[in-house]
Amino acid sequence: METRLKLTIAYDGSRFQGSQRQAGRETVQGRLEAALSELAGRPVSAILAGRTDRGVHAAGQVASCESIRPELPIEQLRRALDPWLGEGLAITRIEQAPVAFHARYDAAWREYRYRLWSGARSPLMGATSWHRRGTLDVIRMADAAGRLVGTHDFASFVGGGEGVPWSARQEATKGTIRTVHVCSAREVGAWWPAIEGAGRGIEVRVVADGFLPRMVRGFVGALSEIGRCANEPEWIDELLKRADRRSGPPTAPSHGLVLWRIGYGDEQPW
């Protein structure tokens, strides 16, 4: 029976100019396709489940492609591809999937996580989190995060010029409306043991049926403002009602964001 490959990949976003193929630029898709093509001995195209901006990391990005080297067991195929992937990109799992499998269109939901660091400046923490001076109130942030759950028009949080009323995005079938299944903020402590006690780590988790450009980073920008008491949690309700990027929050930087995992079929994010 003919099949395709489902690849789970992880990458350090600081090494790439984004996930999608771009002529003359180092991208995740470009590097992955080059590795697949080298091993297959012919050009191979790969489809990514989610698009990430420059600097955004991934722990559970998913790609689909045609089957290559069917004579190799799956784990041996993964190991054979590894030398061609280079620094900053790895395939953590390979599975066989039905021939009709499409990494992007078959995805039921996607999960992103964003980390902030509130405390003494640390190069280690700063590489994968947004350093915020002063104290962030996690309880206020959690209250505000819960207000983002549900089906809403998220235009106020959308970047790339797509969150304004005259954007071409508004002509699309769903426009800037998406359904957020989970949005939470919690303290996670330091993820480098030697830094424990020098501050506090905060993780924002968002699961949705789809995402718009810089949407999660817009969420985090708003939650950060609320955490430092520049606005009340009810500000989220106002932003949702306005649905206009011109009144929206600052956008959090890309390096604190991770595409965590992608769900298919009956997989549940909770």
Which residues are known to be catalytic?
Answer: 53
Residue closest to 244 by CA, chosen among 172, 186, 169:
169
Tokens found for residue 81: 């591809």
Residue closest to 153 by CA, chosen among 246, 244, 232, 252:
244
Residue 149 phi, psi dihedral angles, 5° rounding: -70, 140
Spatial separation of the C-alpha atoms in residues 157 and 243, rounded to whole Å: 8
Tell me the C-alpha to C-alpha distance, in Å, between residue 99 and each of 1, 4, 6, 42, 92: 9, 5, 10, 19, 21
Spatial separation of the C-alpha atoms in residues 252 and 249, rounded to whole Å: 9
Spatial separation of the C-alpha atoms in residues 33 and 5, rounded to whole Å: 13
Which residues on neighbouring strands pair with residue 111, listed in sequence order? 207, 261
